[in-house]
């Protein structure tokens, strides 16, 4: 790359010392707004809250809880291929660390990613000293990536995603992204469209990988609580809508009102993407005249209740096991869909709205296999009453696990200098 091509990156790196006061101000504001965990604020400044494990350490980064959980098959494949290796997982969004701890494999520790301030990132790298750095999805921090590469740590970018709108936004800083992406020794995209867009932006070859999500182990659950709830809810016709946004709830609530009026055995477990939206949702339930129980208050739905508002983190393994059908949220509005595989891998047929650009390849595959069905809001009640023939996702899961194993071998070869 020519010197002229790299001016945006040089400008970004030169401006990083000026970011520290702004970063500290932003952290204080986010703390006041409840967007940061006070106990983990130091991690955002590169101060580790855990010791570094002995031996080889592979570092994986993803933005939030859902993206981290999607990397579980790759983590397992890396540890199977290299017994004894430890893994550091970082995320940027505030997520329940207890949820990650319950669902991640052994020898995995979690930290918040530091903000992209030079002092913070150097402190982070000095402590953790990773042998391999793997970034995923779309959350890329130019300064930290450059700092990591400068230490000779091999970099890989996996499960990469970039739609046409994301490409258009990034073209305004084409030089910055081209410089950053060329520091990765391996780039693997979720689908052919993402590979083409990343290739156009980076000017380099990008491989297409099979989605990792189908290979993930089922979400964890407390078996004792599951058994108690199954006994309590015996006879109820349960479906789950998760993780939801206002547009999804605008489809789900009228459907449940119709079903409940016909048969009070119908019960909707409603799990919003952001549990903090519970007061807003409760107002909608009151307006619709739908009786409810609130999970965070310890409520369990009685026989006269239509909704169980699951306003808690980390219980999706429970909700999916109690239900017989799942409506996957984010698909009736601008979010463009959430991960359907967590429900599919627990045997639930999936319904979804028309907006699934984030998981277009996944949904196309699931529809072809009869495991997912696209509906309109007006079709939801009827679709829930229609019988869903049992389907088996075993073949898709095994293929994804084989692909995760191949990717793990390539990443280890990169770390060992054999790629």
What amino acid positions are annotated as catalytic residues? 67
Q: Where are the alpha helices (DSSP H) in 84-160?
A: 97-103, 118-128, 142-150
Identify the burial level of 301 via C-beta atoms within 10 angstroms of its C-beta, where 0-12 means exposed, 13-18 middle and 19 or more buried.
Answer: buried
Token pair listed for 412? 């280890």
User: Residue 270: what are its φ and ψ, rounded to 5°?
Assistant: -105, 115
* Block residue for tokens 């499960």: 159
What is the Cα Rg of the chain in Å? 22
Give the dihedral sign, CA 232/255/333/189: positive
CB 198 within 8 A of CB 206: yes
CB 189 within 8 A of CB 206: yes
- Planar angle of CA 156, 161, 166, nearest 5 degrees: 120
Token pair listed for 102? 């319950």
What is the C-alpha separation between 81 and 76, in angstroms, rounded?
Answer: 9
What is the C-alpha separation between 16 and 20, in angstroms, rounded?
Answer: 7
How do 237-244 and 326-328 pair as beta strands?
Answer: parallel
Query: 416: how many CB neighbours lie within 10 A of its CB?
Result: 13
What is the C-alpha separation between 8 and 77, in angstroms, rounded?
Answer: 37
- Planar angle of CA 278, 283, 288, nearest 5 degrees: 120
Strand-pair partners of 327? 241, 351
Taking the alpha carbons at both ends of the chain, their separation in whole angstroms is 22
């Amino acid at each position: 790359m020519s010197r002229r091509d790299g001016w945006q990156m040089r400008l970004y790196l030169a401006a990083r010392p000026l970011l520290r006061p702004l970063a500290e101000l932003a952290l204080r504001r986010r703390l006041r707004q409840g967007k940061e965990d006070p106990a983990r604020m130091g991690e955002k400044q590169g101060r580790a809250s855990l010791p570094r494990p002995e031996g080889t350490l592979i570092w994986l980064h993803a933005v939030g809880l859902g993206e981290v959980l999607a990397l579980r098959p790759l983590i397992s494949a890396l540890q199977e291929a290299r017994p004894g290796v430890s893994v550091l997982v970082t995320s940027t969004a505030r997520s329940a660390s207890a949820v990650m701890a319950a669902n991640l494999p052994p020898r995995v520790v979690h930290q918040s990613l530091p903000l992209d301030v030079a002092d913070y990132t150097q402190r982070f790298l000095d402590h953790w000293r990773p042998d391999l750095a793997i970034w995923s999805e779309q959350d890329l921090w130019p300064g930290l990536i450059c700092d990591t590469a400068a230490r000779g740590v091999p970099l890989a970018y996996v499960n990469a995603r970039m739609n046409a709108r994301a490409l258009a936004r990034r073209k305004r800083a084409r030089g910055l992204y081209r410089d950053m992406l060329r520091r990765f020794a391996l780039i693997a995209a979720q689908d052919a469209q993402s590979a083409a867009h990343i290739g156009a932006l980076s000017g380099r070859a990008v491989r297409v990988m099979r989605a990792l999500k189908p290979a993930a182990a089922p979400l964890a659950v407390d078996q004792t609580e599951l058994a108690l709830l199954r006994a309590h809810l015996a006879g109820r016709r349960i479906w789950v809508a998760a993780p939801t946004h206002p547009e999804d709830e605008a489809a789900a609530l009228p459907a449940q009102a119709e079903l409940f009026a016909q048969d009070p055995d119908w019960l909707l477990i409603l799990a919003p993407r952001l549990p903090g939206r519970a007061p807003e949702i409760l107002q909608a339930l009151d307006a619709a005249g739908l009786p409810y129980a609130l999970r965070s208050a310890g409520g369990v739905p009685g026989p006269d209740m239509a909704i169980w508002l699951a306003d808690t983190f980390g219980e999706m393994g429970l909700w999916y096991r109690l239900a017989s059908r799942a409506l996957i949220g984010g698909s009736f509005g601008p979010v463009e869909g959430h991960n359907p595989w967590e429900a599919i891998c627990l045997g639930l047929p999936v319904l979804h709205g028309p907006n699934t650009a984030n998981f277009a390849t996944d949904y196309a595959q699931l529809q072809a296999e009869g495991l997912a069905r696209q509906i309109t809001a007006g079709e939801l009640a009827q679709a829930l009453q229609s019988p869903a023939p049992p389907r088996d996702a075993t073949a898709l899961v095994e293929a994804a696990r084989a692909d995760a194993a191949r990717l793990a071998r390539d990443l280890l070869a990169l770390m060992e200098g054999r790629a």
